[in-house]
Structure 1
């Protein structure tokens, strides 16, 4: 056990010094962001969090200053020290990977107040002075020896890291020519333009041209070179975009500032010619910090109370998507409230039937098991305690929910209580439909675009 030994005022003399060396990591930045109460990693926009400016603010204002306080509180004078005053100048930026040496040196002592004035300095690996200043402390009166408190390790998972991986997987692919439907707010328009910048889509903006330009002005966006199809209102935008997709003029649809049912009404209309032989369904691609792999929930948006045949299509759509994203043999958990088949609970009967359909080749490309309660689907420990032996239990990639209410509540709980981010896409049409919530952050929208691109480019043909 490491012990901390202090230096009471009577032992301290001018010229005494102490040092500490440390390397700045992104983990440090995430932890200090959490401690500040001002920024939580899950809420930091990706571009801002990755910027040098953000790193400099955290490293200077929090990390560097705290390291000086650490030396004062643990070494010189050590435990029992009271900080009275600190004046620091931040001279050189600190970057992730920099190794710094922190030193404090006794400059003067005040026997009346038993205070100590120390010079403080932080130097980087190049010998540059990063931080310089002074600190005045009250030194402890008595000798103390304390055990160093060993805090539990904490490794925060970078929010949205799964979506960044998906975006990276699209490198070298031709972007999807995408009709962005009614992008008349800064959020949806900005996300479409950012997706274009990342070469995920070639946007065709479909909506009232004056409102689109107003949103661009409000967000400071440049629409130079962006194609705009001028229509009167959101319903007309949905109809025009669906017709463009049916005619092969665009390869995907992307929801803007309109209701989902308004867009899907146009997609399902016969003139659009977007229906296939398979039922359309929605998939949430969940980036959940507490889960060690990507997680997909279906259907939480379109099919209200699906019957067995519809569930077969829903699960096959999700399997095809997940395989296109690189998971060769996904594990599908058919969720119910219990793990046993109960005739009084129709969802358990559907679960058993779906498993048999997978055995007989009516569902292909995945391991399917159910009924499984949510805890057993995602926790191997819970499944072990309940004696459930299954290749899916505790390792599910896809969660098939019994109805849209259960799915929507589950997804929103993961988002708002579990810190998850959600990308959304509609499958089963002739083109992928990027379907996101109006409250979704930009990174989740970009993840949806990346999923659509990977699906369109990696699967030879969508269901027909």
Structure 2
């Protein structure tokens, strides 16, 4: 699930009803669909993280699907009392509820409060009793009970309080990648120089999940000492001894050349140290295709995976290079199930400017697509980032585009711009990114020490899907 706008400014006028204005039999209702987002938010606020509410698979559960928190529905009564009947200024005194049936994600719950009694006690204090019920879309009662309140002292009309926009950050887009690999055998993968906690632990977890079959390539004594320090059992894993990072990179690449592994993952060495071995003309992993890198990003404010290329390998590609980079990204998008990906070719502006080379490249690439030199995708550019991502921004500038507002792939002008874009999304927009090198004879995972575990596992999943691309979809 991606980020979801959960609340917004409330410009509805609210009315407070006093004791004298209330009548027995008056009622108010509200209907809400129970979503997975509601369950997550309620768990966050209440601290109730019982697996019953998320998987339905806890040992104590009698259900086979997630069950909504009963008090989530109970909170709907609070909303009714405070905004509709009696309205703003109501003071909650007592609530008694009986939970009659479970609520599941997708259920539409209708909460109703009805005035059952109103009275002044012996000291003249005003009290109102309301019957409370919740029913589902089938008309079945799931909750019933009674609330007692003090009604507002004055009849007032006022606007509801504006609420901030909230976004729930959840990266199930990347989780779905790992789920797609369930039917594939673990992919033999050379972990090049796994001499830090992140790379060694990630390799072990990838093995435990059945994604990869790690071959640890690095100084054997150093790798074993680290495993002992981290209490990781690597006794079942093959270790290929290497004297240093350069030796490890060359031996990892050689394993791929010999067909002993089907992928390579970067460990505790610099990207250029690994890639120099990958791109060697004599003993590297070059093919007839151009080598490029793609980030598959889960951005909380974007509804689908976003592929960004190339922010790692090609420093300043020309138009011909970019055509090959697009073709690589399109192939990956196809593997991920996007039949005809939409490619936004980014620049600083959305018009052709002879002084800005990336706008000229974009024009050339679009014409290449028109003439069949680039196939399998819908291209548009140049597009500034706002026009590429936001259909509204594109409309404001009078841009008619099949890509604007819904791209699957962002082609960046050059490496520096792409690298900054990816890191901005990661650190300012809470995005997660899985990365993969394409165009080599095997997938190459250039993971970073800053990558989260889900992102590392998603990179493994990309490699598995690519290695099994004929059956990945």
Cα distance in 2 between the residues matched to 1:456 and 1:442: 21
The structure 1 residue matched to 2:38, chosen from 14, 24, 28, is 28
Change (3 A) 1:48 1:250: farther
User: In structure 2, what is the equivalent of residue 398 of structure 1?
Assistant: 409
Gaps of 5+ in 2: 1-11, 59-64
The structure 2 residue matched to 1:371, chosen from 382, 387, 398, is 382
Q: Is the 8 A contact 1:32 1:58 kept in 2?
A: no
Post-superposition shift, 1:438? 2.0
Change (3 A) 1:10 1:355: closer
The structure 2 residue matched to 1:430, chosen from 438, 441, 444, is 441
Change (3 A) 1:441 1:87: farther
Q: Is the 8 A contact 1:184 1:215 kept in 2?
A: no
Worse overlay, 250-259 or 353-362: 353-362
Change (3 A) 1:336 1:19: closer
Post-superposition shift, 1:345? 1.8
Q: Does 1:458 align with 2:469?
A: yes
Cα offsets for 1:69-125 (capped at 9, x unmatched): 44653577653134689999x9x998757879899999x998669597999999999
The structure 2 residue matched to 1:188, chosen from 199, 203, 215, is 199
Q: Is the 8 A contact 2:77 2:111 kept in 1?
A: no
Q: Is the 8 A contact 2:39 2:53 kept in 1?
A: no
Cα offsets for 1:352-378 (capped at 9, x unmatched): 332333344443332333322222323
Cα distance in 2 between the residues matched to 1:380 and 1:22: 29
User: In structure 2, what is the equivalent of residue 79 of structure 1?
Assistant: 88
Q: Is the 8 A contact 2:14 2:88 kept in 1?
A: no
Cα distance in 2 between the residues matched to 1:37 and 1:402: 46
The structure 2 residue matched to 1:260, chosen from 248, 256, 271, is 271
Cα distance in 1 between the residues matched to 2:133 and 2:194: 49
Q: Does 1:297 align with 2:308?
A: yes
Equivalenced residues, count:
445
User: In structure 2, what is the equivalent of residue 141 of structure 1?
Assistant: 153
Q: Is the 8 A contact 1:56 1:93 kept in 2?
A: no
Cα distance in 2 between the residues matched to 1:352 and 1:129: 60
Question: TM-score, structure 1 length as denominator?
Answer: 0.74
User: In structure 2, what is the equivalent of residue 386 of structure 1?
Assistant: 397
User: In structure 2, what is the equivalent of residue 330 of structure 1?
Assistant: 341
Cα offsets for 1:245-276 (capped at 9, x unmatched): 12111000122333222222332345643122
Name the SS for the 2:416 alignment partner: helix
The structure 1 residue matched to 2:177, chosen from 132, 150, 166, is 166
User: In structure 2, what is the equivalent of residue 210 of structure 1?
Assistant: 224
Worse overlay, 244-253 or 185-194: 185-194
Post-superposition shift, 1:299? 0.7
Cα offsets for 1:421-464 (capped at 9, x unmatched): 2111111111001223322222222222222222221259xxxx
Q: Is the 8 A contact 1:245 1:272 kept in 2?
A: no
Change (3 A) 1:129 1:362: closer
Name the SS for the 1:371 alignment partner: strand
Q: Does 1:358 align with 2:369?
A: yes
Cα distance in 2 between the residues matched to 1:317 and 1:401: 14
Name the SS for the 2:287 alignment partner: coil
Cα distance in 2 between the residues matched to 1:446 and 1:430: 21
Post-superposition shift, 1:284? 1.0
Name the SS for the 1:196 alignment partner: helix
Cα distance in 2 between the residues matched to 1:66 and 1:236: 62
Q: Is the 8 A contact 2:131 2:147 kept in 1?
A: yes
Cα offsets for 1:180-206 (capped at 9, x unmatched): 233344443443344334432222233
Change (3 A) 1:87 1:329: closer
Worse overlay, 316-325 or 151-160: 151-160
Change (3 A) 1:163 1:67: same
Instruction: Give RMSD over aligned pairs.
Output: 4.9
Instruction: Show the 5 A alignment for 1:212-291.
Output: 212-214=226-228, 216-217=230-231, 221-223=232-234, 225-270=236-281, 272-291=283-302
Between Structure 1 and Structure 2, the one with more helix by share is 1
Change (3 A) 1:251 1:73: same
Q: Is the 8 A contact 1:9 1:114 kept in 2?
A: no
